[in-house]
C-alpha cells in the first residue's frame, strides 16, 4: 500500500503555477463578501462605542491635534490638550508616537477642521477595515491551497480577531496608545493580503512600509510576506524559482528602506537626532520612570515580567472581594484569546507556516524586552503586533476543517472580551 503523502509535499497547482485550492471566486462576489465583513465589523464596533459611552473622543488622543499641526507645517503641538506621555524638547511638546493615525486624519482635518474631527470614528473605520483585509487574506490562502478553510470557518477566525482578542476594546478605546495599534494592524493585514494576491513585491511592501509609521517593530512581519512570495514561486512539483524569490526580496526592500529613512528624517526634524524617538524624555507616569531612566527602554531584565503577564498572568483577586478582576498590568493571552492555544498545532512543514512562526518569534523580541507590559489595559494589547501571523498559523492549524473545540475556544474568547469591554469602559474605575 502506498503511503499517503503529506499535503505540503509538492502541492497540486493550476496552470499558472498556483497551488490548487478553492475554485477562483467571482471577483464581484469576493468584494461583496469582504464588504459584508467590513460592514458587520463596523456596526458591532459602532454599537459597542455607543453602548459604553465612547461616541466622543477620550481626553488623550493627540493624533487629531498632530494632524492639524502637520497641516500647518509643524511637528509639535502648540497647545496640547494634555501633556501626559508627550515629550518636551526645546520648550515645545511633541507626540513621541509615530504619526500614521495623524497622517490618515489629515485629509479630513484639512476639509472639515479639527473641531469637526472625531478620532473615535477613524478608529472604528480602520478597525473594521482590518477585519475585512483579514478575510481577504484568508480567502486568498484558501484559493491558493495554502490553508484551505471553508468560508464559514474563515468567518470564525475573523470573529476571533474582531471580538475574541484585544482588538475589540482597542478599536473602540481610541486614545493615543490604542489608535497606534488599530491603524498598524490595518496596514499589516493589508500587507499580508497583498502578499497572497500579488506576484510583485511592491504592493505588500508598501503597505508594510506604511505600517512602520504606526509601530516600527512590525517590520519584523516581513518573513511572513517573504514566505508567501516563496509559496507563489513554487511550481507544480514544488520546485522553487530562486530567481523570482531574489527579485521579490530586492523589490520589497526599496519601500521598506525609504520608510525607515523617512522615520529617521522625522526624528531628526523633531529632536535633532535621527535615532531619537523621544521616549527617553517622555512625560510618563512616575511608576514607569524608574525602569525607563534606570534600565532603558529595552532590556533583558524585563523579559521575565513581560513573559509572565503575556503567557501566565492571571486575574487579580483583591482581599474581601467575591470575584476576581482583570489585572490592568496585563493578563495571559490564553485567557483573553484561548484560541491561540491551537498555535501548537501549526506544524505543517511548508514555507507559509515557517515564515509565520519566524515573524511571530521576531515580533516577540521587542515586546518581551520592553520597559512596560502595556500599562493599563485589558489582556495584553502588545499581542496585536503579532496577531496577523498568529491568524495565518491558526488557519493552517485548522485546515481543512475547524473542529468544534477551536470554535468553542473562540466563543469563550468573545465572552471574555465582551466582559473586558464592559470592565474597561464601565467597571474600571481608575481611567
| Angle, in degrees to the nearest 10, between helices 387-398 and 151-163 | 150
Higher pLDDT, 350 or 237: 350
Range with lowest mean pLDDT among 2-6, 300-304, 363-367: 2-6
Residue 83 has pLDDT above 50, yes or no: yes
Does the bond joining 400 to the residue before it have cis omega, within 30 degrees of 0?
A: yes
Average pLDDT, the chain: 91
pLDDT band at 92 (very low <50, low <70, confident <90, very high): very high
Residue 18 is predicted with a pLDDT of 45
Instruction: Give the cell for residue 239.
Output: 520546485
Contact 157, 149 (CB under 8 A): yes
Q: How far apart are alpha carbons 324 and 336 in whole angstroms?
A: 14
Residue 21 is predicted with a pLDDT of 61
Residue 218 is predicted with a pLDDT of 98
Q: How far apart are the first and last CA of the chain?
A: 66
Residue 20 is predicted with a pLDDT of 54
In a 13 Å sphere around the CA of 113, the CA atoms on its Cβ side amount to 2
Q: How far apart are alpha carbons 170 and 181 in whole angstroms?
A: 7
**How far from chain centre, in Å, is Cα 374?**
15
Task: Classify residue 312 by its DSSP letter.
Answer: I
Q: How far apart are alpha carbons 422 and 377 in whole angstroms?
A: 13
Residues 6+ apart with CB under 8 A from 214: 98, 100, 101, 180, 181, 183, 184, 187
pLDDT band at 95 (very low <50, low <70, confident <90, very high): very high
**Neighbouring-strand partners of residue 92:** 89
pLDDT band at 3 (very low <50, low <70, confident <90, very high): very low
Residue 384 has pLDDT above 50, yes or no: yes
Higher pLDDT, 375 or 352: 352
Which of 254, 269, 275, 276 lies closest to 209, judged by CA?
254
Place of cell 507590559: 373
Per-residue pLDDT tens over the stretch 215-273: 999 999 999 999 999 999 987 677 888 999 999 999 999 999 999 999 999 999 999 99
Higher pLDDT, 236 or 213: 213
Residue 6 is predicted with a pLDDT of 41
Report the percentage of the chain scoring pLDDT > 90: 81
CB-CB neighbours of 382 under 10 Å: 26
CB-CB neighbours of 11 under 10 Å: 20
Residue 268 is predicted with a pLDDT of 97
Amino acid at each position: 500500500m502506498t503511503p499517503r503523502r503529506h499535503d505540503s509535499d509538492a502541492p497540486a497547482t493550476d496552470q499558472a503555477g498556483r497551488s490548487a485550492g478553492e475554485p477562483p471566486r467571482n471577483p464581484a462576489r469576493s468584494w461583496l463578501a469582504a464588504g459584508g465583513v467590513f460592514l458587520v465589523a463596523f456596526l458591532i464596533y459602532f454599537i459597542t462605542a455607543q453602548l459604553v459611552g465612547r461616541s466622543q473622543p477620550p481626553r488623550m488622543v493627540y493624533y487629531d491635534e498632530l494632524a492639524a499641526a502637520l497641516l500647518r507645517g509643524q511637528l509639535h503641538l502648540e497647545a496640547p490638550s494634555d501633556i501626559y506621555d508627550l515629550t518636551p524638547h526645546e520648550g515645545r511638546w511633541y507626540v513621541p508616537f509615530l504619526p500614521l493615525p495623524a497622517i490618515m486624519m489629515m485629509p479630513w482635518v484639512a476639509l472639515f477642521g479639527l473641531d469637526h474631527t472625531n478620532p473615535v470614528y477613524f478608529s472604528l473605520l480602520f478597525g473594521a477595515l482590518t477585519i475585512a483585509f483579514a478575510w481577504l487574506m484568508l480567502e486568498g490562502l484558501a484559493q491558493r491551497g495554502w490553508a484551505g478553510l471553508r468560508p464559514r470557518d474563515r468567518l470564525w477566525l475573523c470573529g476571533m480577531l474582531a471580538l475574541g482578542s484585544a482588538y475589540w476594546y482597542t478599536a473602540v478605546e481610541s486614545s493615543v496608545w490604542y489608535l497606534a495599534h488599530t491603524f498598524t494592524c490595518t496596514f499589516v493585514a493589508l500587507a499580508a493580503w497583498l502578499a497572497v494576491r500579488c506576484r510583485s513585491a511592491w504592493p505588500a511592501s508598501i503597505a508594510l512600509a506604511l505600517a512602520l509609521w504606526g509601530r516600527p517593530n512590525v517590520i519584523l512581519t516581513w518573513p511572513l510576506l517573504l514566505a508567501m512570495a516563496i509559496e507563489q514561486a513554487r511550481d507544480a512539483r514544488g520546485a522553487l524559482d530562486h530567481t523570482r524569490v531574489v527579485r521579490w526580496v530586492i523589490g520589497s526592500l526599496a519601500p521598506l528602506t525609504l520608510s525607515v529613512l523617512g522615520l529617521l528624517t522625522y526624528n531628526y526634524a523633531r529632536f535633532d537626532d535621527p535615532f531619537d524617538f523621544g521616549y527617553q524624555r517622555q512625560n510618563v507616569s512616575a511608576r514607569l520612570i524608574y525602569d525607563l531612566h534606570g534600565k532603558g527602554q529595552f532590556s533583558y531584565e524585563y523579559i521575565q515580567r513581560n513573559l509572565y503577564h503575556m503567557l501566565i498572568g492571571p486575574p487579580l483577586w483583591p482581599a474581601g472581594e467575591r470575584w476576581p478582576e482583570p489585572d490592568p498590568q496585563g493578563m495571559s493571552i490564553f485567557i483573553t484569546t484561548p484560541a491561540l492555544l491551537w498555535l501548537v498545532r501549526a506544524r505543517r512543514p511548508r514555507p507559509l507556516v515557517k515564515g509565520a512562526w519566524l515573524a511571530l518569534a521576531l515580533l516577540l523580541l521587542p515586546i518581551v524586552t520592553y520597559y512596560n507590559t502595556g500599562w493599563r489595559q485589558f489582556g495584553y494589547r502588545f499581542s496585536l503586533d503579532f496577531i496577523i501571523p498568529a491568524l495565518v498559523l491558526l488557519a493552517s492549524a485548522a485546515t481543512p476543517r475547524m473542529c468544534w473545540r477551536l470554535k468553542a475556544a473562540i466563543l469563550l474568547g468573545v465572552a471574555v472580551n465582551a466582559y473586558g469591554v464592559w470592565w474597561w469602559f464601565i467597571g474600571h474605575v481608575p481611567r
